[in-house]
Structure 1
């Protein structure tokens, strides 16, 4: 199995494939559960949450967007990140290999769902994810995401979109970069940063996304979260403008050592509206989690961006422990569960068995219908 960006992954054992698929499923579904747990209390203060739901805060889904278990733009954009990464691998058959471009095209397709009312208004060859009607719903998307994708110009690290923005809208969608099995962490870091700069051009906006992807990458490879955090810190050190992100991660590590986890200790790390705070809060909750349920409830019960911090914590714990650690009662009621699971399996299959699905000379028509080779769909 190779460890360089973009190289074909080969010689996967069956056990390794099963382990990777379980972690991909866990990360995507876990992030969606955390997102949905926080969706109904996203703009409430901690005092208001406790007044409405008791001294321990929410313990279950709260109705949002007309239902329980509803996901937000965090999960929507995460799924389109996955779609873009699959298409990057499929398009490589044409001789093209620039994953940031494919992810940008996926984000443009997500932006179109925020304006179109149903899939029938899209081109018939757009691909599988674009045909999922439940995704055609506005779930409080951030202005930087919408503004950065308002036209076709792709932001880059050299010329980023929204250079003053460091909201959490890039970090909350970046777990899939960490699920790129076999990639070197340095390449994971850079690709996540490149794709974050397409909407969030402040260094803290894209470096927090890159650091998060590296921590997910460590978890997805069976390493500890602590090891992933320290690897992210080492990679951050060579990037200009890393100080806020580095400081936030160090604060999260310090908070772990300060005593039992509480909502007040979590709030000492921030509110999660900006990228480095959301990163620190999600990482802290994952580090101190006794189990998936404990970590997710800690991550959403605070007076800030509860769905984003819940999503980040869920991504991390799901990648670390796999799908069987997900609380069944929350999984059963999760919006879009079947589609998220299907996309997760497609992603894992592409990364581990893609060579059996498509090649320059011969490809599965079903697979190319799901993930077309066309750059713009």
Structure 2
């Protein structure tokens, strides 16, 4: 699993960094000026290889899990990032979502992380989805799907408590978890659909809310025409676009470049797609030049190793 962990950790950071300079650019602009490698400056005026909040909060999540699952510790690690740039590409924060900022401000003044997250319908951005990847590794041996759902709900809820955000995170984690044992993308996708749909069928969840994920859970998201794939910062759109890119490409590189060149919320689409592709293809399939150029490259490798050791110790 070490190669998958390292691949996912570098995968998210590089996918994020590819998208940072062109965040908010339109799809038509990027079709004429496509991103083909790590570039710099652009909308955030950051050097090449700079990742954003997506990766920083993912690494905060992973680091807190190394010491064991504790929502309070995890939330405080997030606050440390928000206030001091901990795990920032350059030890500073240059991008933070409104819902995430409000939630972490609540945590910082003593609100419990079990009730800190936004729960209004307008607070369904992708700010919890983007940091969920480490949970797939942490929950790989948890055979109780209800317990997996509850864990995802708690971790998402630090910043995003609405059911729509939680369900998006759950689908993502379940798919990643299946990818750890199934090498075939289509098989893992089908298995995710079966397990998630069976679980949802047994729960008293609002069918109108579940329906937002119909294209992922009931249809084949890969078959949707690209013109109908929206790459905004809305949680449903981010999950759809990341899965679409993964299932319509056959290398890590082509997946993340497709994700970023969709335009819109390029860093998060790149990050979410990059995490899945990095896990699936492994560290050895990610371009070496990108691994060298991404910010905090040595620290990422070390974190991945520590995370892997901690998981093995937990399983022993």
TM-score range, shorter chain: 0.7 to 0.9
Contact (CA 8 Å) 1:207, 1:245: kept in 2 or not? no
Question: Could you give the per-residue CA deviations for residues 198-228 of structure 1, whole angstroms, max 9, x where no partner exists?
Answer: 1112211122112211111111233543123
Match of 1:249 among 205, 209, 216: 216
Who is 1:325 aligned against? 285
CA distance in 2, matches of 1:33, 1:294: 13
Residue pair 2:72, 2:113 contacting (<8 A) in 1 also? no
Question: What residue number does 2:14 align with?
Answer: 33
Listed as ranges, the matches of 1:115-264 within 5 Å are: 130=86, 134-152=89-107, 153-156=111-114, 159=115, 161-164=117-120, 165-180=123-138, 181-184=140-143, 186=145, 187-222=147-182, 224=185, 225-226=188-189, 227-237=191-201, 238=203, 240-241=205-206, 242-250=209-217, 253-257=219-223
Structure 2 distance, partners of 1:41, 1:298, is 13
Structure 2 match to 1:10 = none
Deviation at 1:354?
A: 5.4
Q: Which has the higher contact order (CA 8 A, sep 6+)?
A: 2
Alpha-carbon distance in 1 for matches of 2:172, 2:88: 30
TM-score normalised according to structure 2 size: 0.86
Contact 2:117 2:160 in 1 (8 A): yes
Give the greater-gyration-radius structure (CA).
1
Indicate conservation of the 8 Å contact 1:41/1:62, yes or no. Answer: no
Say if 1:69 and 1:335, in contact at 8 Å, map to a contact too. yes
Q: Contact 2:19–2:270 at 8 Å: present in 1 too?
A: yes
Q: Secondary structure at the match of 1:40?
A: helix
Aligned residues of 2:25 and 2:263 also touching (Cα < 8 A)? yes
Aligned match of 2:26: 45
Q: CA deviation at 1:133?
A: 7.3
Give the alignment's TM-score, normalised by structure 1: 0.73
Q: Tell whether the 8 Å contact from 1:222 to 1:320 is kept in structure 2 after alignment.
A: no
Count of equivalent residues: 299
Give 3-state SS (helix, strand or coil) of 1:182's partner: coil
More helix by share: 2
Quote the offset at 1:240 in angstroms.
2.1
Within 5 A, what are the aligned runs for 1:71-82? 71-82=51-62
> Structure 1 pair 134/77, CA: closer, same or farther in 2 (3 Å)?
same
| Deviation of the 1:324 alpha carbon | 0.9
Cα 1:244–1:87 shift into 2, 3 Å? farther
1:42-121 → structure 2 map (5 Å cutoff): 42-51=23-32, 53=33, 57-64=34-41, 65-88=45-68, 99-114=70-85
Q: CA deviation at 1:103?
A: 2.0
Partners of 1:40 and 1:185 lie apart in 2 by 41
CA contact under 8 A between 2:103 and 2:158: conserved in structure 1? yes
Q: Where does the alignment leave 5 or more consecutive residues of structure 2 unmatched?
A: none
